[in-house]
Structure 1
Amino acid sequence: MPRLYLKRVVIVGGAVLLTCLLVVVREYHRRTRPSYRGVPDVDPKLWKLLLHDETTQVCLFVCLFVCLIHMGGLFLLFSVHQLPTPRPAHRVHVKQLPPLSINIGWSLERVEEAFFSYLENKDVRCDKDVRVGNWHDGGWNVCLSPPYDLKQPCVVFSFGIGYDWQFDDSVTGNYGCQVMAFDPSMKEQEVPHNTMIQFRRIGLAATNGIGKKGWKLKTLRQHFQDEGFLEVPIDYLKIDIEYMEWESLRQALTDGSLKLVKQLGFEIHTPEMFHSLKAANETLLRDPMKEKLDFVHMFETLRQIEIMGFRKFNYRKNPFGLYTSVYTKKERSYCYELHYINTDFLQDNNTLIHYSDSKLFHR
């Protein structure tokens, strides 16, 4: 828009100056050309002598023309000065407010309310927030505002495929990124049709070894090391591993393997998932104190992620995980997608800091 506005200013200003020039030339020509109309039998030489000094008239019109040029220049200068300063494309907005907190001394109802409010809080507005893959399940939000935009060579680690390659195919097809994909639950080692995806039938966990289901598991740090990306920036890390995210993320926080991850998208599951998935006649016994502690521990893990420098730019409440809380009677979901950027990679020229909340962060 600023370029279009500037073009219009130049066109209009040029037209005004050209019109003024034509008027000056015409007036000069009219005044300096001898006219005998109404004055019969006058010698042209005599008429020229009787006319005002021609040199004076020329100087007059030259001065007038110079003044018009100066006025036009000032007009253009003023117009350009009034143009809005173009902002960097696809800016990242960061909200700087005191962190939210949850106290173990609160009632279970208050803790639950605070936890879900925290999940739906955004601290970052990414001007170019794009859903990559399916709009619903199978897709993930990616911030494409600089410096997080996916440019070759870029690398994505994707944990938890479930035979759904929409996100991985979109990342490689649209942005040309290399994808390292992992899922120990897939019955056969499916070979992706996309040659830019490397698949491993290995899972993500807090320790290295063989899990209860006989799956081969590794920590995030071990995965990075084995694939040759231990000290290399990771453009996007996606984790969707059905409740195992908590212990895996805690270990990643402990060993520092998240420090070079530029964007982090993961799906969290609350213990309510186990209640909801049980049949009506197999209802699990509830322990209010344990459930309160679960909320506090989950909150503390997410806060540690923020302390490491990550800030949430989007979330998605999974509609397939909806339930009615037995404590607050509100509709909740035991499953949320959370999307973060690592603010350690932010740059001053495309970042705007906000010291108050606004509708900007609630879109």
Structure 2
Amino acid sequence: MAPASLLRRIRFTLLSILCFVFVLYAIPRPLLGKPTSALTRDARARYPEAQTRVVDEPVNVVPEFVHNTSLAGHELKEQLVLLDQLFLLMTNITKPCRKLVRQGGKLCRGKLDGDKKLCLDPFVRPTSNSCLVYSFGIGYDFSFDAAMGKYGCQVFSFDDDSAHALLDRNPFPRVKFLRFRLAAGRGVKVERSYNPATKSEYIYLYRPLDNIMYLLGHSTANVDVLKIDVDGPEWEIFEDSIFKTDVLERTKQLSMEIHLGVFLDPHLDTGLPLSQTLQKYTRVLRGLEDRGFHLTHHEPNLFHPKYVQFANRTFNACYEVLFVNTHLKKMDTNDHAELQDKFYNEIEFSL
């Protein structure tokens, strides 16, 4: 009897450990943390050049990109002010979320990657079984999309390269995958790529967001979550396309990965081009603020960290941010009519 009893105890202990790991890493849960105090836009405009580090990064980080700021000359002071204002816009919580949860993500090398945060507070949380999610830039990780489908949302996922042609059109319940990219402009764009090794050509199709929503029958629908992770062009996508539409007026939450790509050039021109790029970065974030979007969460990407040293600033060049819309304009009730694959094939390749 003793060995059987011991066996039961060991089995019970192992099951308890597995349950704990599942709860810790698989089930979305509130994230703890005290939000920073809000600053008005006027205060940010008057914000002087900071004398300290702009972000709270580990002090033992070895920057991968170290830029010679002596080339910036008289423009350096203005660039540092712009950089500090940019990080205020990226990291200053102006709308704390009481119930912030993680959706999706996979553990790799002991770190979580691909997860996105979602706010479940009243008035901004997606309504289960009647919500709409647009997810751009999935790579090959559907974990966020699958989690939102399980939550009860109709999810439309987008990305495109030659390998995406092999992916299932319906990878998970309530998730539909389409092969085209988000355009950084107002027109439909075709881009051709030739592979000399295989002697083959691949055609990329780019569409503006409002054009995509029109084709899918969502031209007047509310978007519960708009996720954009496109590895750099997000600034142009907003300024040259999305800001010229009314889509954001109907979007509850915006989950985005921000890339400060200008600093990832080892031959960075620290003169006027850098100043213009920093101005564009801050312009886009202030444009979101002007449209009622308030920052509710931010964190550096520590799975693929790219640390930069610019003057006395050391920071990560990639951040995950979540905004919630306080000026939501409610439109028609979302209608998720099931469309045939033939329809998706047509809009993927039609011009």
Residue 295 to residue 177, structure 1, CA distance change in 2 (3 Å): same
Pair 1:162-2:145 in alignment: no
Hey, what's the Cα distance between the residues in 1 that align with 2:243 and 2:125? 24
Q: Whose RCO is larger (CA < 8 A, sep 6+)?
A: 2
Residue identity in the other structure for 2:248: L
Q: Which residue of 2 aligns with 1:321?
A: 305
Cross-structure match for 2:157: 181
Count of aligned pairs between the two proteins: 247
On the 8 A contact 1:156/1:236 being kept in 2, the answer is yes
Would the aligned equivalents of 2:149 and 2:173 in 1 still touch at CA under 8 Å? no
Q: What amino acid does structure 2 have at the position aligned with 1:169?
A: A
Q: Which residue of 1 aligns with 2:189?
A: 209
Distance 2:236 2:161 in 1: 18
User: C-alpha displacement at 1:289, in angstroms?
Assistant: 2.3
Does residue 222 (structure 1) correspond to residue 211 (structure 2)? The answer is: yes
1:321, CA displacement in angstroms?
A: 3.3
Q: What is the DSSP-based 3-state SS (H/G/I as helix, E as strand, rest coil) of the residue aligned with 1:123? A: coil
Quick check: 1:267 aligned with 2:269? no
- State the match for 2:82 in structure 1: 111
Deviation at 1:273, TM superposition (A): 5.2
- Alignment partner for residue 323 of structure 2, among 340, 346, 356? 340
Asked whether the 8 Å contact 2:257–2:321 carries over to 1, the reply is: yes
Structure 1 counterpart of 2:228: 239
Contact 1:162/1:185, CA 8 A, preserved across alignment: no
- Distance change in 2, residues 1:120/1:261 (3 Å): same
Conserved? CA contact 1:156–1:177, under 8 Å:
yes
Q: Distance in 2 between matches of 1:296 and 1:271?
A: 14
Aligned to 2:41: 98
Q: State the Cα distance separating 1:106 from its structure 2 match.
A: 4.9
Structure 2 SS opposite 1:107: helix
**1:186/1:340 CA distance change after superposition, 3 Å:** farther
Q: For structure 1, which segment, 210-219 or 256-265, has the greater mean C-alpha deviation from structure 2 after superposition?
A: 210-219
| Residues 225/287 of structure 1: CA separation in 2 closer, same or farther (3 Å cut) | same
Alignment partner of 1:289 out of 272, 279, 282:
272
Maintained 8 Å contact 2:251/2:328: no
Cα distance in 1 between the residues matched to 2:114 and 2:243: 26
Q: Note the residue ranges of structure 2 that are not aligned, 5 or more in a row.
A: 1-34, 49-74, 107-111, 194-202, 331-351
Contact 1:163 1:186 in 2 (8 A): no
What is the 5 A alignment of 1:125-144?
125-134=96-105, 136-144=112-120
The 1:296/1:227 distance shift into structure 2, 3 A limit, reads same
| Pairwise CA distance, 1:179 | 0.3
User: How many Å separate the matches in 2 of 1:285 and 1:178?
Assistant: 42
Which residue in the other structure is 2:29 paired with? none
The code of the aligned residue for 2:215 comes to D
Q: Which amino acid aligns with 1:321?
A: P
Aligned equivalent of 2:293: 310
Distance 1:112 1:273, change over 3 A: closer
Distance 1:210 1:109, change over 3 A: same
The answer (yes or no) to whether the contact 2:249–2:329 under 8 Å persists in 1 is no
Assess, with a 3 A threshold, how the Cα gap between structure 1 residues 127 and 331 changes in structure 2: closer, same or farther: same
Q: Paired residue for 1:25?
A: none
In structure 2, what is the Cα distance between the partners aligned to 1:93 and 1:260?
A: 27
Alpha carbons 2:295, 2:324 under 8 Å: kept: yes
Show structure 1 runs of 5+ residues with no match: 1-91, 276-282, 348-363
Q: How many percent identity over aligned positions?
A: 26
Task: Choose between structure 1 and 2: higher strand proportion.
Answer: 2
Question: CA offsets, 1:25-54, max 9 Å, x none?
Answer: xxxxxxxxxxxxxxxxxxxxxxxxxxxxxx
Report deviation, 1:331.
Answer: 2.0
Amino acid at match of 1:210: V
CA–CA separation in structure 2 for the residues paired with 1:94 and 1:285: 34
The 10-residue stretch of structure 1 (330-339 or 319-328) with the greater mean CA deviation from structure 2? 319-328
Measure, in 2, the Cα distance between the counterparts of 1:186 and 1:265: 26
Separation in structure 2 between the aligned mates of residue 150 and residue 186 of structure 1, nearest angstrom: 33
Picking from 245, 256, 262, the partner of 2:246 is 256
> Is the 2:39–2:92 Cα contact (8 Å) retained in structure 1?
no
- 1:246-303 per-residue CA deviation (whole Å, 9 max, x = no partner) reads 111111011222110111111111134542xxxxxxx424233221221111101110
